[in-house]
Amino acid sequence: MYMASQYDLIIRQGLIVDGNGGEPYLGDVAVKDGRIAALGTVDGSAGEEIDAKGALVTPGFIDVHTHYDGQAIWSDRMAPSSGHGVTTVVVGNCGVGFAPCRPGDRDLLISSMEGVEDIPEIVMTEGLTWEWESFPEFLDAIDKRKHDIDVAAYIPHSALRVYVMGDRGANREAATEDDIAKMVALVDTAMQAGAVGFATSRMSFHRRIDGEFIASFGAPEPEIHAIAKEVARHGGIFQIVPALIEVPELERAKEEFEFLRRLSKVCGLPVTFTTAQPDFAPRRLDEIMKWVAEANKEEGVELRPQVYPRPVGMVLGWDLSANPFIECASYKAIAGLPLAERIAELRKPEVRDKIVHEAAGVPVLPIMTMARHFVNMYAMGTSPNYEPAPSSSVTELARAKGVSPEEIAYDLLLEQDGDAKLMVAMGNYSDGNLDCIGSHLIGGDGVVALGDGGAHYGLVCDASYPTFMLTHWARDRDHDRLGLAEVVKAMSKTPAGLAGFKDRGELAVGKKADVNIIDFDALKLHSPEVKFDLPAGGRRLDQNASGYRATIVSGKVIQRDGLPTGELPGRLVRVR
């Protein structure tokens, strides 16, 4: 007689790191109907059993700062995040996105995403279906599609402002009382539809592709408070990119911090914001974290800075969005050539001599000036090192050889048949190491995030940070390593708590069965590589890892040994 299995899946005898920060333990994990049904020693049978001996069993990781707004429309895989154990992402960060949006404003929102998030216009034009106008309709568009992992969304401020105010919003005029009332009403509707919260930006680097500031830049405090109070009424969170890490003056930074503190205190909601250690103020991050700790002692204040566990920066290459010579006239003359022909030209001594001695023009987007930040520029090689010695910087190599940094950078980029890449550390690396960030990754007010998956396709591949956290911080670093259990908690339960995801982030009975099975000893992060798999053949940086035996979402195995299984159990997460 046929006997039905008690469980759908049992993961046998792995080292369970449950996301709560406690001591790992050997045991089994049983799954039924997409939920964790039993932990420890599990008797009974299952439709499938996975032998996890010698491997870690962890919760799926959660990245609360991504930009898969477009990719969730044109793709069923949220890569590269899902290749690094991430099972839930939040989109709509930095206040840029695609909803709400009237047909006549589509180009404006695309220009914002192109400028802020380095997503080529043609990719969005070809890939976006625009079957929505309102934000709830955008959520429905995501919801009806199948994905490998789960997606949640913020309401983006710039899109909201343009929808309500038209050109006045795009031109950053002050909102009237009527404008604010309309924005608040739309936020109410969006929150009821399941938005996680609201997102905005006050950073001057965030600009449209034409160099103009995005719509949210400089929005007055009364407008922001009115919206935040409505978000708070629904139990949501407020995400913001402040000017904290771009203003040199400590007094100005403190004023910006006080804005964040007031926002949380007056409006009564958690405020999560981007932070880092800027080069111009090497102690700024520590100061910010001290301000946060002190402010969070106040009743009604909850500030949650988002921290990134590697250098904040960009990747440079001949086939990427930036290299040190993109604003040089002689390089511009050949920039449109197919890559192979361009490399052949670049190898000519006379071309090299002209380009490396040529003054670079001023880029439209200020962030591109960092492509010539030679003092914190490093060769990535075939095995990426995200904590390189300062002596290996382009500047130091040039000094040792008695040549210019431009010459060193040029020659390094021609290695690997012209496919070599350079890393520019723009933040978290002014001391020439990552010591400044380690103490803020676990156990405090910080939240590990900022993978930026779905954005900066030709500039970064930061979505691979979970693998870096496990390999570098928990296993390989030669000093001040972090505990494995704490690292897992920092990428699972902590961000789940921030976002209000009560059903995930830990391995516990009744929780959603989002699970990773990881060969910790063999886990390896590979070099970034260029792929052309976006709409219209668009280019993106991808970064793979080996050592993930399986990633499971809602009890379904979405990948085994780094290869997708074809299962697409990911769904829209509607909070509340």
* Domain definitions of the chain by residue range: 7-59+519-564, 61-310+433-500, 314-427
Cα separation, 375 vs 149, whole angstroms: 39
pLDDT of residue 5: 84
pLDDT of residue 122: 95
Q: Nearest 10 degrees: CA dihedral of 567, 452, 84, 555?
A: -40
Pair 437, 277: CB distance under 8 Å: yes
Pair 572, 142: CB distance under 8 Å: yes
Provide the pLDDT confidence category of residue 364 given band limits of 50, 70 and 90. Answer: confident
CB neighbours of 35 closer than 8 A, spacing ≥ 6?
510, 511, 512, 513, 555
pLDDT digits (tens, 9 = 90+) for 153-188: 999 999 999 999 999 999 999 999 999 999 999 999
**552 beta partners:** 515, 557
**379 beta partners:** 422
Q: Which CATH superfamily is domain 61-310+433-500 in?
A: Metal-dependent hydrolases (3.20.20.140)
Give percent of the chain above pLDDT 90.
95
Would you say residue 2 has pLDDT above 50? Answer: no
Q: What architecture does CATH give domain 7-59+519-564?
A: Roll (2.30)
Pair 486, 311: CB distance under 8 Å: no
Cα separation, 361 vs 326, whole angstroms: 9
Q: Identify the H or E element spanning 344.
A: helix 339-346
Pair 548, 83: CB distance under 8 Å: yes
pLDDT digits (tens, 9 = 90+) for 547-565: 999 999 999 999 999 999 9
Provide the pLDDT confidence category of residue 205 given band limits of 50, 70 and 90. Answer: confident
Instruction: Select from 43, 121, 246, 95 the least CA-distant residue to 28.
Output: 43
Would you say residue 62 has pLDDT above 70? Answer: yes
Strand intervals (E) in 33-161: 35-40, 46-51, 56-59, 61-63, 86-91, 150-156
pLDDT of residue 365: 82
Would you say residue 443 has pLDDT above 70? Answer: yes
pLDDT digits (tens, 9 = 90+) for 108-145: 999 999 999 899 999 999 999 999 999 999 999 999 99
Residue corresponding to tokens 């990773």: 516
pLDDT of residue 204: 87
Distance of CA 35 to the CA centre of its chain: 27
